[in-house]
Amino acid sequence: MKLEGVYSVLPTPFHATGEIDFESLGNVVDLFIDKGVSGLTALGVTSEVARLTESERSAVLKVIVERVRGRVPVVAGATAEGTRICIEYTRAAREAGAAAVMISPPRMPKLNSEAVMRHFSAVADAVPDYTIVVQDYPPISGYAMEPALLVRIAYEIPAARTIKLEDAPTPFKCARIRDLGQGMDIGIFGGLGGVYLLEELISGATGAMTGFAYPEILVDVVRRFRAGDEDGAAEVFYRYVPLMRFEFQEGIGQAIRKEALRRRGVITCADTRAPGAKLDRATLTALDRVLKWSLL
């Protein structure tokens, strides 16, 4: 399955009590689809997946797939420290109706390229004919995959020919993958809040996969770029980069994103699950300013 365009990573909304707010989750699904995204990603890092129990993981994915009703493909996060668990998550995603899974290398001491190859190969063998998005996000996996390794994975494991790049500088890495791939059909998504989207597209990316609260902006940039209107894409992109940058702040980005979605009227509570950050008055004031400046 070929994945491209804009895939929005869904947040997991919570009530003030800390329980999952499934109604708000459904509202976000509808909003993102209405704004023209090509697909949705569930159980990602910005979904606070590390703070969900096993039963909550299953419930969240079930609600998302049912709410989507086949309107767009759903990618499900399946990263795990053990290969056996990763396979189990991948099988569960397929059974739930997800079109693909997104997997980072397992976090382990002294990880090397051969161990990474064995991990992805084992998943592909255990769940054949199922698309794998290889997530290159060193802050989570603790391991930076070189362009040569990513191309090798794509060459040796046909199911894993889609990459989500989150190891800056992503435009440079994207270009290196294209050079080394020598025309191989590899899908490349940028992430990191969309802050490098235009430069990634120039370097050969096929889209973006991120949780930015205003996905219609990313959709517009990709649409204009694909139509050959690079100046128009640049005009839209550079107008909104300050908002993307502000939303993607380390440590508080999830909370900012949820506050933006609360202001869009789709979630009722912007809380992240403990020990996630809460926004202070200064950050909220700064968000007011950047939204006003962006005319949103």
User: pLDDT (tens digit, 9 = 90+) per residue, 106-127?
Assistant: 998 889 999 999 999 999 999 9
Q: Among 227, 230, 228, which residue's Cα sits nearest to residue 197? A: 230
Cα–Cα distance for residue pair 111/113, rounded to 1 Å: 7
The structure tokens listed for 60 are 């969240």
What is 5-240's CATH superfamily? Answer: Aldolase class I (3.20.20.70)
Q: What's the CA angle centered on 170, arms 121 and 233, to 5 degrees?
A: 120
Quick one: average pLDDT of 232-260? 96
Question: Quick check: 172 and 143 in contact, CB under 8 A?
Answer: no
Percent of the chain exceeding pLDDT 90 equals 94
Residue 10, amino acid: L
Cα–Cα distance for residue pair 122/126, rounded to 1 Å: 6
Residue 221, amino acid: V
Q: What's the CA angle centered on 75, arms 69 and 132, to 5 degrees?
A: 140
Cα–Cα distance for residue pair 13/5, rounded to 1 Å: 25
Residue 110 has a pLDDT of: 87
Cα–Cα distance for residue pair 272/279, rounded to 1 Å: 10
Indicate if the alpha-carbon torsion angle 208, 213, 219, 220 is positive or negative.
Answer: negative
Quick one: average pLDDT of 234-252? 96
Mean pLDDT of the chain: 96
- Domains of the chain: which residue ranges? 5-240
Per-residue 3-state assignment (H helix, E strand, C coil) for the chain: CCCCEEEEECCCCECCCCCECHHHHHHHHHHHHHCCCCEEEECCHHHCHHHCCHHHHHHHHHHHHHHHCCCCCEEEECCCCCHHHHHHHHHHHHHHCCCEEEECCCCCCCCCHHHHHHHHHHHHHHCCCCEEEEEECHHHHCCCCCHHHHHHHHHHCHHHCEEEECCCCHHHHHHHHHHHHCCCCCEEEECHHHCCHHHHHHCCCCEEEECCCCHHHHHHHHHHHHCCCHHHHHHHHHHHHHHHHHHCCCCCHHHHHHHHHHHCCCCCCCCCCCCCCCCCHHHHHHHHHHHHHCCC
In the predicted model, is pLDDT for residue 296 greater than 70?
no
Going by pLDDT thresholds of 50, 70 and 90, the confidence category of residue 1 is: confident
pLDDT digits (tens, 9 = 90+) for 147-184: 999 999 999 999 999 999 999 999 999 999 999 999 99
Residue 72, amino acid: V
Residue 89, amino acid: Y
Residue 215 has a pLDDT of: 98
